[in-house]
Amino acid sequence: MSKKLYLIPTPLGDHAPASVLPAPVLEQILGLRRFFVEELRTARRFLSAAGLKGHIEELELFELNEHTTREQIEAYGAMLGEQDAGLISEAGLPAVADPGALLVELAHRRGVTVVPLVGPSSLMLALMASGLNGQCFAFTGYLPVKTPARREAIVQLERTSARLGQSQIVIETPYRNDALLADLCTACRPATRLCVAAELTCPGEFIRTQTIADWSKALKAGFAIGKRPCVFILLA
């Protein structure tokens, strides 16, 4: 029988796992002893809260993040057929805007069964709440860091959105949120709609969809997103 790689979601904020994840997901976690994780300390805290408190030292935890070399990930891939394992990201769904996708690719190549488990996705929660096109959408991820290149990328996204009627989803490193919002207001047409969804599922949750013209007014009035996890969705 093929060994399995379970893709284990985690809460988006500081929630008890049992308040966010379905019981079958928590039960599956209890049956695993090998995990590939984005950050060791965060993963230990999550696994302890998920029901493995007192058993953390019995687990095998292997770090997999943006600093992990391709050679190391290949070595992890060789371990997948030895026993069932779990893949855990820092927040939300693993392998979505996450380096864990490389391990999932290896699992498929090695004939390991990949099992996605149910949990929160900031991208889908933002799209659900945006009021924008949920039938046709694209996730671009991060835009260029430099302002001229970023604004050009925004112009291209807006053109694609207008041509296809497609919602365009992007994310940013929290400390660049406000710079991205400013560039969106500069590069997009006034009638284009933009959803800003920050700190989803958390006490400070903020979700607002309005035109670029209205966002520009908000910026002039002093609005700021601040350094918090945020999803941006535009629809021309």
166 and 210 assigned to the same domain? yes
Q: Are residues 84 and 36 in the same domain?
A: yes
Domain extent for 192: 122-235
Main-chain dihedrals φ then ψ at residue 195, nearest 5 degrees? -105, 130
CATH of the domain at 126: 3.30.950.10
Residue 81: the pLDDT is 87
Strands (E), 48-102: 60-63, 85-88
Whole-number pLDDT of residue 234: 98
Give pLDDT, residue 191: 98
Residues 22 and 51 in one domain: yes
Q: What is the pLDDT of residues 34-62, one digit of tens each?
A: 999 999 999 999 999 999 999 999 999 99
Query: What is the layout of strands, in order, in the sheet containing 60-63?
Result: 60-63, 34-37, 85-88, 4-8, 113-116
Do both 134 and 112 map to the same domain? no
Mean pLDDT (the chain, rounded): 95
Cβ atoms of 219 and 189 within 8 Å: the answer is no
pLDDT tens, 93-110?
A: 999 988 999 999 999 999
Domain shared by 101 and 171, yes or no: no
pLDDT tens for each residue of 13-37: 889 999 999 999 999 999 999 999 9
Confidence of residue 1 (pLDDT cuts 50, 70, 90): low
Final residue belonging to a domain, choices 52, 85, 116: 116
* % residues pLDDT > 90 (the chain): 95
Is there a single domain that holds both residue 43 and residue 59?
yes
Q: Grade residue 2 by pLDDT with cuts at 50, 70 and 90.
A: confident
Residue 5: pLDDT band (50, 70, 90) is very high
pTM over 0.85: yes
24 shares a domain with 87 = yes
pLDDT at position 159 is 98
Shared domain check, 150 and 45: no
18 forms bridges with which residues in the sheet?
none
* Residues 225, 177 contacting (CB under 8 angstroms): yes
Which of 65, 93, 116 marks a domain boundary? 116
3-class DSSP assignment, residue 165 = coil
